[in-house]
């Protein structure tokens, strides 16, 4: 080794030395499957410059990292061969996903290798975005940032945690601005608020595994709620003998609903009344495990069952049955998700569900205090739609001169009625840090291309900690950037900070910053880091656990007031913008695998659709594939009809994710975006967008589509393909697990 070329070690030249740093150079030893050739000299072979001992061409090496396809924070192992990442699996050490992944996690590689990435900085000149160098881009940006003062600067991100959150806070501090907005359309903001107010803990741990019955008001915990992969692993325990029972109340069948033992659609927005009715009946029968104050008792007494049936449309007999299940099958767990929370009184509905939890004794049994990560600065700054609305208000008031977007696409997700595009037109300088040419980037004055999550460094603290000691999960690059002109989010942020605060100059780059920061975290075994042992161990494991800041649950049951049901003549139906595990809020619409993966319930691919109950479809005179126009007071969309019974007759459900006007070849001009036509109604308590509150009317458009979906038949046609067995027999033969 003494004869080897000695090279100064900074990160980039280090990598360059080890691998292939030269501009545009290629690499090493790939046997990329292509067409077949036996001709001599037609293919090129490039060797390593100087490989690590353990790298052998032809043999995969696994690296630990973190999944960023949603904000649940699952740990990953990535298989790397010849410098390319080929496959992602879950990290078995992660308490969040236990080595498992969801379809979006699996598709992370297609986001990374996406053919429609932004590959160089672009600056708007004479009205069009033109490629420029990073030097030019950053000098323009720094100039603009230097000229803006305090709150006139705003930053919009998605959920951000770990050391990226630290850098975002630091930049906001340097800029003297308090206008950081974290925006996520799919969130559990209302649930968190209710938990905080009624239990004293915003993110309590939910013990699905301990529950014998789960009553879920629209919480799609297997698909899109809180931490889906983790919930699915817990669900497996819940379903093992003696097998808990799942009751799902929601206006449109979600993935979780598809797995329920009892699935019922209440009239949209009346989930709160149903929960109160159940609570009332439980107390009436003396089945409650916890007593409530006379105040609460009196308020509950309003909800006698005939009245609840009238409000919700759920027959008294069913309500009684659900109530008795909650007491028979103790311990119970009651959850509430988007379809309960997405109304003006959404907070109250979720609170009603929580009240039920308290009454049936779930708190302390199936709901436990959270074990949060102890470093407050690293905790997730969780996205919400309330932040989006605040941001839109600011735009309306012309409050911002410079706006910096990072890894978020509000121009796509914001309802038309918020006037985001119009407001943004008035902003002097808009910067989009992004991997893809999304709708927000298309309106920006400066686009900064980010490295993909598989090319970048980071740390992540999941908002929902899965139990045991809380963890911070490390994201390390699985390969060198595909495009040489992209930069990591942390590196860009650090660069902006260095220009404003000399103290940051001690860090050559974000890697150096992160390494220093992590090695100084409490809980690391070896701070001395001899020969990089501690650091290497950390990277190899992919996560670090810490002694938790233990929460404590303190019950504060209070009265809940939910609104009654209002009929509307002009807009008779409710629009449900349903969330899909797959395209999510639209961010994965550019991933071909996820476009081609059939929706779990409707089985439709590559397009949008509107789910209608057969009764509603009959009234409207439409059939599968007919095009309908769905109009709200805020606008209209057109899409094809898919008829099935898993939807309330008063509902038209259109999934989120399609209807992009940009975002690359797979996403652009495909389907419709239901978020666009939502009315700007908010939850009174939290200010969250009331996503399910928009009333619509539906009209037939004289056009027809072929509904492209998987599977020819909707039923088994009498063939015993999926056989079933009764739960009693299952318990008898497979016992107590």
Partner 1 sequence: MQFANRTSLNNAAAVSIRRLQAKLVQCGKPFYLLMALAVMALLPLTAMAELPVPSHITPPPGEHEGEHVPQPIEFPHDRHVKDMKINCMYCHTYARRSKVAGIPPTSKCMGCHKVIATDRPRIQKLTEYWEKGESPRWKKVHDVPDYVHFTHEKHIRKFVFDADFPVEDVQQVCGVCHGEVREMTVAEKKKPLNMGFCRRCHEANGGPGDCWKCHK
Partner 2 sequence: MSFKNILENFSKYRRGAEEGGHHEYEHRWGMAIDLNLCIGCNACSTACYAENNLAVVGKDKFEKGQAMHWMRIERYWDDADAGRDFPEQGALFLPMLCQQCGAATCEPVCPVAATYHTPDGLNAQVYNRCIGSRYCNNNCPFRVRYFNFWSYYESSWPEPLNMQLNPDLSVRDKGVMEKCTFCVQRIRTAKDKAQRENRAIVDGEFQTACAQACPTGAIVFGDTMDPNSRVTKLWQEHEVERGPYTSKKPKQNAELRGYRIFEELNVDPSIMYLERVRETEV
- Report the interface residues with partner 1, using CB under 8 A: 3-5, 15-22, 24-52, 54-64, 77, 79-80, 82-84, 476-480, 482, 536-537, 539-540
Rule CB under 8 A: say whether 625 interacts with partner 2.
no
Rule CB under 8 A: say whether 646 interacts with partner 2.
yes
Helix, strand or coil for residue 331? coil
Pick the closest to residue 463 from 221, 167, 161, 101 (CA basis): 161
Q: Which does 669 bind (CB under 5 to 8 A by kind): partner 1, partner 2, none?
A: none
Rule CB under 8 A: say whether 598 interacts with partner 2.
yes
Spatial separation of the C-alpha atoms in residues 386 and 234, rounded to whole Å: 30
> Contact 668/606 with Cβ under 8 angstroms?
no
Q: Which is nearer to partner 2, 89 or 368 (CB)?
A: 89
Pick the closest to residue 91 from 516, 544, 547 (CA basis): 544
Q: Which is nearer to partner 1, 56 or 147 (CB)?
A: 56
Q: Which does 618 bind (CB under 5 to 8 A by kind): partner 2, partner 1, none?
A: none
Q: Which helix (H) or strand (E) holds 230?
A: helix 228-239
Choices 228-236, 282-290, 396-404, 559-567 (CB under 8 A): range interacting with partner 2: 228-236
Q: Which does 103 bind (CB under 5 to 8 A by kind): partner 2, partner 1, none?
A: partner 2
Q: Which does 131 bind (CB under 5 to 8 A by kind): partner 1, partner 2, none?
A: none
Rule CB under 8 A: say whether 725 interacts with partner 2.
yes
Q: Which is nearer to partner 2, 325 or 351 (CB)?
A: 325
Cα–Cα distances in angstroms (integers) from residue 135 to residues 131, 143, 468, in the given order:
12, 12, 46
CB atoms within 10 A of CB 525: 11
**Residue 634 gets which letter from DSSP?**
T
Q: Which is nearer to partner 2, 312 or 600 (CB)?
A: 600
- Which stretches of 391-490 are assigned E, i.e. beta strand? 402-406, 429-434, 446-449, 458-460, 471-475
* Helix 489-498 × helix 510-519 angle, to 10°: 90
Rule CB under 8 A: say whether 93 interacts with partner 2.
no
Pick the closest to residue 397 from 151, 172, 188 (CA basis): 151
Q: Which does 217 bind (CB under 5 to 8 A by kind): partner 1, partner 2, none?
A: none
Pick the closest to residue 305 from 271, 278, 343 (CA basis): 278
Token code pair at residue 211: 């529950």
Rule CB under 8 A: say whether 101 interacts with partner 2.
yes
Spatial separation of the C-alpha atoms in residues 458 and 466, rounded to whole Å: 20
- Which stretches of 260-301 are assigned E, i.e. beta strand? 262-264
For the bound state, the minimum distance from the C-beta of residue 369 to partner 1, rounded and expressed in Å, comes to 33
Per the listing, tokens 């939807």 go with 647
**Residue 503 gets which letter from DSSP?**
G
Token code pair at residue 305: 């069952």
Spatial separation of the C-alpha atoms in residues 332 and 343, rounded to whole Å: 25
Rule CB under 8 A: say whether 106 interacts with partner 2.
yes
Q: Which is nearer to partner 2, 165 or 451 (CB)?
A: 451
Pick the closest to residue 304 from 341, 273, 261 (CA basis): 273
For the bound state, the minimum distance from the C-beta of residue 728 to partner 1, rounded and expressed in Å, comes to 42
Spatial separation of the C-alpha atoms in residues 526 and 533, rounded to whole Å: 8
Options 37, 126, 397, 729; binder of partner 2; rule CB under 8 A: 729
CB atoms within 10 A of CB 732: 10
Binding-site size, partner 2 (CB under 8 A): 99
Rule CB under 8 A: say whether 732 interacts with partner 2.
yes
Per the listing, tokens 């690293």 go with 378
Spatial separation of the C-alpha atoms in residues 653 and 573, rounded to whole Å: 10
**Residue list 294-323, contact with partner 2 (CB under 8 A):** 321
For the bound state, the minimum distance from the C-beta of residue 287 to partner 2, rounded and expressed in Å, comes to 17
Q: Which is nearer to partner 1, 536 or 669 (CB)?
A: 536
Spatial separation of the C-alpha atoms in residues 581 and 222, rounded to whole Å: 9
Sign of torsion, CA 26 488 84 439?
A: negative
Spatial separation of the C-alpha atoms in residues 464 and 203, rounded to whole Å: 6
CB atoms within 10 A of CB 47: 10
Options 232, 266, 389, 446; binder of partner 2; rule CB under 8 A: 232
What string marks each residue from 242 to 271 as x (binds partner 2 by CB under 8 A) or -?
-x-x-xx----x-xxxxxxxxxxx------
Q: Report, in angstroms and rounded to the nearest whole number, the Rg of the chain calculated over CA atoms.
A: 27
Rule CB under 8 A: say whether 595 interacts with partner 2.
yes
Choices 29-37, 181-189, 361-369, 457-465 (CB under 8 A): range interacting with partner 2: 29-37
Pick the closest to residue 642 from 727, 720, 705 (CA basis): 705
Ramachandran sector of residue 586 (left: φ over 0; alpha: ψ -120 to 50; beta: rest):
left
Choices 268-276, 394-402, 554-562, 597-605 (CB under 8 A): range interacting with partner 2: 597-605
Helix, strand or coil for residue 330? coil
Rule CB under 8 A: say whether 24 interacts with partner 2.
no
Choices 7-15, 543-551, 603-611, 654-662 (CB under 8 A): range interacting with partner 2: 603-611
Q: Which is nearer to partner 1, 44 or 528 (CB)?
A: 44
Rule CB under 8 A: say whether 397 interacts with partner 2.
no
For the bound state, the minimum distance from the C-beta of residue 455 to partner 1, rounded and expressed in Å, comes to 9
What string marks each residue from 674 to 713 as x (binds partner 2 by CB under 8 A) or -?
--------------------------------x-x-xx-x
Q: Which does 569 bind (CB under 5 to 8 A by kind): partner 1, partner 2, none?
A: none
Rule CB under 8 A: say whether 229 interacts with partner 2.
yes
Q: Which is nearer to partner 1, 173 or 532 (CB)?
A: 532
Q: Which is nearer to partner 2, 442 or 727 (CB)?
A: 727
Spatial separation of the C-alpha atoms in residues 674 and 638, rounded to whole Å: 9
For the bound state, the minimum distance from the C-beta of residue 299 to partner 1, rounded and expressed in Å, comes to 55
Rule CB under 8 A: say whether 23 interacts with partner 2.
no
**Residue list 405-464, contact with partner 2 (CB under 8 A):** none
Rule CB under 8 A: say whether 390 interacts with partner 2.
no
Rule CB under 8 A: say whether 628 interacts with partner 2.
no
Rule CB under 8 A: say whether 287 interacts with partner 2.
no
Q: Which does 627 bind (CB under 5 to 8 A by kind): partner 2, partner 1, none?
A: none
**Residue 5 gets which letter from DSSP?**
P
**Residue 505 gets which letter from DSSP?**
G
Q: Which is nearer to partner 2, 9 or 36 (CB)?
A: 36
Spatial separation of the C-alpha atoms in residues 211 and 197, rounded to whole Å: 23
Token code pair at residue 574: 């409710």
> Contact 414/423 with Cβ under 8 angstroms?
no
Per the listing, tokens 């019922």 go with 264
CB atoms within 10 A of CB 323: 24
Q: Which is nearer to partner 1, 18 or 262 (CB)?
A: 18
For the bound state, the minimum distance from the C-beta of residue 233 to partner 2, rounded and expressed in Å, comes to 6
Q: Which does 44 bind (CB under 5 to 8 A by kind): partner 2, partner 1, none?
A: partner 1
CB atoms within 10 A of CB 321: 13
Q: Which does 80 bind (CB under 5 to 8 A by kind): partner 1, partner 2, none?
A: partner 1
Q: Which does 545 bind (CB under 5 to 8 A by kind): partner 1, partner 2, none?
A: none
For the bound state, the minimum distance from the C-beta of residue 654 to partner 2, rounded and expressed in Å, comes to 18
Q: Which is nearer to partner 1, 83 or 228 (CB)?
A: 83
Q: Which is nearer to partner 1, 85 or 186 (CB)?
A: 85
Q: Which is nearer to partner 1, 36 or 721 (CB)?
A: 36
Rule CB under 8 A: say whether 44 interacts with partner 2.
no
Question: Residue 239 contacts by C-beta under 8 Å, 6 or more apart in sequence?
Answer: none
Options 73, 162, 218, 223; binder of partner 2; rule CB under 8 A: 223
């Amino acid at each position: 080794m003494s004869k080897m070329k000695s090279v100064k070690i900074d990160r980039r030249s280090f990598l360059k030395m080890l691998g292939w740093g030269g501009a545009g150079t290629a690499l090493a030893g790939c046997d990329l499957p292509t067409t077949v050739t036996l001709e001599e000299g037609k293919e090129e072979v490039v060797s390593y410059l100087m490989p690590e001992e353990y790298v052998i061409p032809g043999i995969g090496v696994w690296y630990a990292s973190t999944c960023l396809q949603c904000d649940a924070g699952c740990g990953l192992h990535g298989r790397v061969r010849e410098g390319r990442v080929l496959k992602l699996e879950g990290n078995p050490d992660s308490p969040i996903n236990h080595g498992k992944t969801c379809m979006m996690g699996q598709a992370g590689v297609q986001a990374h290798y996406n053919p429609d990435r932004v590959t160089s900085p672009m600056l708007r000149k004479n009205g069009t975005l033109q490629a420029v160098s990073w030097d030019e881009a950053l000098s323009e940006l720094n100039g603009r940032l230097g000229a803006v003062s305090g709150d006139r600067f705003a930053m919009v991100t998605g959920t951000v945690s770990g050391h990226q959150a630290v850098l975002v806070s630091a930049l906001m501090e340097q800029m003297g601005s308090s206008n950081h907005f974290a925006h996520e359309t799919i969130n559990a903001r209302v649930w968190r608020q209710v938990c905080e107010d009624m239990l004293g803990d915003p993110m309590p741990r939910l013990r699905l595994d301990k529950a014998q019955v789960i009553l879920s008001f629209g919480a799609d915990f297997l698909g899109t709620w809180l931490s889906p992969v983790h919930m699915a692993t817990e669900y497996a325990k819940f379903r093992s003998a003696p097998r808990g029972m799942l009751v799902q109340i929601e206006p449109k069948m979600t993935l979780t609903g598809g797995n329920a033992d009892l699935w019922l659609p209440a009239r949209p927005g009346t989930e709160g009344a149903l929960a109160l009715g159940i609570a009332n009946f439980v107390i009436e029968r003396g089945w409650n495990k916890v007593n409530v104050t006379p105040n609460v008792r009196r308020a509950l007494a309003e909800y006698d069952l005939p009245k609840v049936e009238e409000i919700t449309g759920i027959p008294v007999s069913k309500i009684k049955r659900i109530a008795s299940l909650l007491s028979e099958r103790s311990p119970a767990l009651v959850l509430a998700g988007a379809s309960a929370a997405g109304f003006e009184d959404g907070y109250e509905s979720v609170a009603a569900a929580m009240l039920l939890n308290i009454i049936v004794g779930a708190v302390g049994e199936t709901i436990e205090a959270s074990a949060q990560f102890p470093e407050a600065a690293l905790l997730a700054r969780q996205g919400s739609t309330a932040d989006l609305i605040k941001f839109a208000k600011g735009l309306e008031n012309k409050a911002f001169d410079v706006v910096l977007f990072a890894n978020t696409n509000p121009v796509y997700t914001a309802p038309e009625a918020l006037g985001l595009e119009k407001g943004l037109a008035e902003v002097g300088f808009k910067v989009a840090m992004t991997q893809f040419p999304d709708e927000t980037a298309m309106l920006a004055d400066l686009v900064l291309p980010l490295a993909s999550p598989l090319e970048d460094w980071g740390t992540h603290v999941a908002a929902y900690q899965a139990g045991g000691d809380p963890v911070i999960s490390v994201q390390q690059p699985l390969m060198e950037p595909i495009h040489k002109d992209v930069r990591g989010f942390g590196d860009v942020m650090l660069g902006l900070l260095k220009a404003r605060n000399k103290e940051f100059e001690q860090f050559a780059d974000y890697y150096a910053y992160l390494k220093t920061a992590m090695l100084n975290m409490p809980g690391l075994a070896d701070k001395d880091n001899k020969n990089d042992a501690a650091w290497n161990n950390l990277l190899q494991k992919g996560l670090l656990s810490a002694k938790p800041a233990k929460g404590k649950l303190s019950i504060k049951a209070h009265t809940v007031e939910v609104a009654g049901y209002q009929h509307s003549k002009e807009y008779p139906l409710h629009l449900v913008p349903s969330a899909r595990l797959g395209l999510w809020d639209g961010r994965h619409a550019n991933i071909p695998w996820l476009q081609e993966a059939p929706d779990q319930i409707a089985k439709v691919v590559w397009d949008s659709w509107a789910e209608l109950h057969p009764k509603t479809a009959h009234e409207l005179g439409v059939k599968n594939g007919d095009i309908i126009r769905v109009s709200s007071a805020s606008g209209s969309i057109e899409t094809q009809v898919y008829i099935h019974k898993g939807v309330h007759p008063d509902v038209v459900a259109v999934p989120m994710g399609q209807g992009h006007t940009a975002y690359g070849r797979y996403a652009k001009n495909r389907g419709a975006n239901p978020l666009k036509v939502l009315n700007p109604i908010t939850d009174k308590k939290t200010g969250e967008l009331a996503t399910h509150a928009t009333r619509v009317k539906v009209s037939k458009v004289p056009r027809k589509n072929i509904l492209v979906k998987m599977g020819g038949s909707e039923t088994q046609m009498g063939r015993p393909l999926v056989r079933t067995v009764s739960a009693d027999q299952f318990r008898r033969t497979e016992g107590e697990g």
